[in-house]
Amino acid sequence: MISNSQLVNKYFRHSKKFPHIWCPGCGIGTILGNMLRAIDNLAIDKNDIAFVSGIGCTGRAPVYVDFNTLHTTHGRALPFATGLKLARPELNVLVATGDGDATAIGGNHLIHACRRNIDITTIIFNNYIYGMTGGQYSPTTPHGDKAYTCKLGNIERPFNISALVEAAGATFVGRTTSYHTLQLQNIIKKAIQHKGFSVVEVITHCPTTYGRINRRGSAVEMLKWQKEVAVDKSRADKMNPKELEGRIVTGVLIEKELPEFCEQYDTIIEEAQNQAKGKLA
């Protein structure tokens, strides 16, 4: 396995001035690091990777890494990535997006990308809050939890992202946490290898905003919580709904083969060209 210093040397942009913008204890770096390990494990050429993001803390991930990187507008990473993938189907297109970016402002694009089954790997960094703007409630903030726009408790019910994207038609859905780094790396690897639209939901922590206002303790405490509530799918399948209350099921949740969008479009091109030839003849 690649060492940390090798990883930094190989994938981080030397021309980019560090330090990065993330707070001490933030989970985003862990997820980004394991995405890089997955890519390294698959031995994909850096030129063949496009890494696209939206806005927010997660949106800042691409600037640090040495790929073709595209930092788009809030919620729109997926349609940008869709156009890019159609123009360059040979690229491995990865999208990094947060819970607000992906499921609030970008929710419509997310469900339609799932439905379309275009070969893009989407990693959703779910920390239950809008971190960059200072801790407002997001579509995944648990009911009753606090944020700086719901100090008396959130009265909205949260999205279950993995269930949402499954229902919308994603052909690969994986979920893990930023505590389970090996599983994280493996699921991202499988998601990249999957032909079709894949979503990896990563439960992570924001000690600065969500953690502070909900008195969840330090980053270490929040990681321990992830360890405690996570239950692997193989075990969860044997548990009843009552036992699963408050638990987060992790692992590869959905994996199925359906026709991929770009490949289907290639057959459209072939057919249209044949028809055009027929017209001329």
Choices 106-114, 162-170, 210-218, 228-236; region in contact with other proteins by CB under 8 A: 106-114
**How many CB atoms within 10 Å of residue 273?**
10
- Which ranges constitute the DSSP H helices of the chain? 4-11, 28-42, 77-87, 99-100, 107-116, 161-168, 181-193, 212-213, 219-229, 233-236, 241-244, 261-280
Q: Which is nearer to other proteins, 63 or 254 (CB)?
A: 63
Q: Is 199 in the site for other proteins (CB under 8 A)?
A: no
Closest separation in Å from C-beta 258 to other proteins: 18
Choices 1-9, 78-86, 146-154, 227-235; region in contact with other proteins by CB under 8 A: 78-86
* Contact with other proteins (CB under 8 A) among 20, 71, 235, 247: 71
Q: Which is nearer to other proteins, 6 or 273 (CB)?
A: 273
Alpha-carbon gap, residue 95 to 276, rounded angstroms = 37
69 closest CA partner among 96, 33, 38: 96
Q: Is 85 in the site for other proteins (CB under 8 A)?
A: yes
Count of residues that bind other proteins according to CB under 8 A: 44
Per-residue x/- track, 110-149, other proteins (CB under 8 A): --x-------------------------------------
**Polymer length in residues for the chain:** 281
Q: Which is nearer to other proteins, 218 or 264 (CB)?
A: 264
Q: Is 46 in the site for other proteins (CB under 8 A)?
A: yes
Strands 136-137 and 129-130: antiparallel
* Contact with other proteins (CB under 8 A) among 34, 35, 58, 67: 67
**How many CB atoms within 10 Å of residue 108?**
11
- Contact predicate 253/166, CB 8 Å: yes
- Contact predicate 122/199, CB 8 Å: yes
Specify burial of residue 281 (Cβ count, 10 A radius: 0-12, 13-18, 19+): exposed
Structure-token pair, residue 271: 């057919």
Tell me which residues in 210-239 interact with other proteins (CB under 8 A).
none
Peptide bond between residue 139 and the one before it cis (omega within 30 degrees of 0): no
* Contact with other proteins (CB under 8 A) among 2, 23, 25, 48: 48
* Contact with other proteins (CB under 8 A) among 134, 220, 257, 265: 265
Alpha-carbon gap, residue 229 to 243, rounded angstroms = 11
Q: Which is nearer to other proteins, 18 or 256 (CB)?
A: 18
**How many CB atoms within 10 Å of residue 274?**
10
* Contact with other proteins (CB under 8 A) among 68, 136, 149, 160: 68
Contact residues toward other proteins (CB under 8 A) are 13, 15-17, 46-48, 50, 52, 62-63, 66-73, 76, 78-88, 90-91, 108-109, 112, 265, 268-269, 271-273, 275-276
